[in-house]
Amino acid sequence: MIPDPAVNIWAQTKNSLYPLYKERAEGRLPEMDCHAQAAEIYADYSLPEDRLLDAAGGSGYFFWSLKQRGLLGHYHLLDQTADFVDMGRRALAAELPPERFIVSSMQETPGRYEAVFCLNALFCLPDYRQGLERLLMAAGRLIILRSTFGERNEIRYETDPYLDPGAERLKSYFNIWRVAEVTAFMESYGFAVHTVVDRRTNDQPEISAGKLFPWRWLVGVKS
């Protein structure tokens, strides 16, 4: 289920995300607010030998937020965009062995991890269920999600101004998932779920590229 790069919108961001993700993986840009918050949420649950999965983690720059806080565990990056994973593998070669960088879709998440992170990515699935189910099945103790959550499901399949010239015909999902439904879904896999206020937006919708992003956190702890 790894999409052909020709139709993977993320592989059509050579002018926008590629340079940004490279610099982030090299640790040359300031930390993202939400990555700082994810690492701080995790700090309350962390154990030194934890296997960690950064699902749909781009080029793996969340690693630096964990490292800065001494939360190393055994970090693994998974992403469906091979170029991003390669970028991370190269940039973090002095920090992590190459096998920690996995090209895969969330829907086929391999292995088991004590803690799974999925930051800023569930909104781009056509439906959250299959991807989230595989992450919940892979998560031994903890799952930390940041995505667009609201009062009702809203499918938004729209143009994306960040795509490279020539790729504008490819639309992208910017979906909003009903928070009560996703919470019940997570609970059905044995997780006790709580919300955390988003520090960057104070749970107020953020506008980016002309679209509203109601960022929220869901934290699932295996009960």
Residues in the site for ligand SAM, rule: CB under 6 A?
10, 56-58, 79-81, 84, 105-107, 119-121, 124-125, 131
CB of 74 to ligand SAM, least distance (A): 18
Contact predicate 60/35, CB 8 Å: no
CA distance 192 to 87: 35
Nearer to ligand SAM, 131 or 192 (CB): 131
Among 30, 20, 38, 64, smallest CA distance to 146 is for 38
Nearer to ligand SAM, 45 or 162 (CB): 162
CB of 127 to ligand SAM, least distance (A): 11
Nearer to ligand SAM, 159 or 180 (CB): 159
Nearer to ligand SAM, 46 or 65 (CB): 65
Q: Are strands 215-222 and 191-196 parallel, antiparallel or unpaired?
A: antiparallel
CB of 41 to ligand SAM, least distance (A): 14
Among 119, 133, 141, smallest CA distance to 56 is for 119
Nearer to ligand SAM, 50 or 54 (CB): 54
Non-local (6+) Cβ contacts of 44 within 8 A are: none
Joined together, the tokens standing for residue 22 give: 């490279």
CB of 90 to ligand SAM, least distance (A): 16
CB of 139 to ligand SAM, least distance (A): 15
Q: Are strands 113-119 and 211-213 parallel, antiparallel or unpaired?
A: unpaired
Closest residue to bound ligand SAM by CB: 56
